[in-house]
Amino acid sequence: IEVVGAPIFNEKQVLNGAVLVFHDITELKKLEEMRKDFVANVSHELKTPITSIRGFAETLLEGAMEDIQLRRQFLEIILKEGERLQALIYDLLELSKLEKDEMRLEYQNIDLSSLVEELLPVIKQQAVKKQIDLSIKLPDTLEIVADADRLKQVFINLLNNAVNYTSDNGKVLLKVSEKLNHIEITISDTGIGIPDEAQSRIFERFYRVDRARSRNTGGTGLGLAIVKHIVEAHHGEIRLESQLEKGTTFIISLPRKPEYSKGLF
């Protein structure tokens, strides 16, 4: 609580009393704390790949370059860390755009089924690498009014996570179904699952259940925060069901048109 005070004098300039104003600044403090945490997190996330890139470049220059095998190995690490840095910056910019003008979506008529078909090759490639059985259940066509690029990002982030957090030979299923005025998208996996206590925090920026694992898979820790923003900007809802060691399902409800957004779910 912040207190501001001022004395009150009567007409003879004798002290008569005082006014005290109590401001409850709990909310403000919390926001300020969150902002500080965010800046600290961003700095940390940027520092890690840069330190690694510098370290390996220096070691190469100090002589490791002569060893063909080491040279290859170190250059691959430098490339991977560079890609992480790029992904992080892309996600940070995306998030800041979404937070600034959430409402400025580019609504278009899109066929959701073709949109999903377009992004599948990349995900399929990742699934094949881990011998994950990826199944897709989509109607032949499904017209909705939404921001195509942003919606693509939602599918990519959730499918990437499903593949990343599922061990080899697991299963990932994407299902899109039509309801009266909205559509339902479910993405389920037979992966590692998310512990109960983490489920309410999973959409926070940089929150990860297992930092090391997320870093290994090239994750930025921002994917789900971006997904939630995009879904909510479309007046949709997202929730999850998950059981440790069994798997996770994300369920999204989206209005088929922005004008259908009220009181649907």
Beta strand spans in 11-68 (E): 15-23
49 binds ligand ADP (CB under 6 A): no
Element (H, E) at 154: helix 148-164
220 binds ligand ADP (CB under 6 A): yes
Helix/strand number for the chain, H first, E second? 7, 9
253 binds ligand ADP (CB under 6 A): no
Q: With 0-12 CB in 10 A as exposed, 13-18 as middle and 19+ as buried, what is 170? A: buried
Nearest CA-CA partner of 187 in 178, 174, 171, 177: 174
189 binds ligand ADP (CB under 6 A): yes
Rounded to the nearest whole angstrom, what is the least distance from the CB of residue 20 to ligand ADP in the complex? 45
Contact 120, 138 (CB under 8 A): no
How many CB atoms neighbour CB 113 within 10 A?
A: 16
Nearest CA-CA partner of 134 in 153, 147, 119, 144: 119
194 binds ligand ADP (CB under 6 A): yes
170 binds ligand ADP (CB under 6 A): no
223 binds ligand ADP (CB under 6 A): yes
Kindly indicate which of the ranges 41-49, 141-149, 173-181, 214-222 contains the residues binding ligand ADP, using the contact rule CB under 6 A. Answer: 214-222
Nearer to ligand ADP, 125 or 216 (CB): 216
Nearest CA-CA partner of 158 in 34, 59, 248, 79: 248
Among 42, 95, 209, 264, binds ligand ADP (CB under 6 A): 209
Rounded to the nearest whole angstrom, what is the least distance from the CB of residue 230 to ligand ADP in the complex? 13
Question: What is the total count of residues that contact ligand ADP (CB under 6 A)?
Answer: 23
Q: Which residue is nearest to ligand ADP (CB)?
A: 219
How many CB atoms neighbour CB 66 within 10 A?
A: 8
Nearer to ligand ADP, 206 or 260 (CB): 206
Nearer to ligand ADP, 228 or 256 (CB): 228
Rounded to the nearest whole angstrom, what is the least distance from the CB of residue 213 to ligand ADP in the complex? 7
Q: Give the whole-angstrom CA distance, residue 83 versus residue 64.
A: 22
Among 154, 224, 230, 254, binds ligand ADP (CB under 6 A): 224
Site residues (vs ligand ADP, CB under 6 A)? 157, 161-162, 165, 189, 191-194, 202, 207-210, 214, 219-225, 248
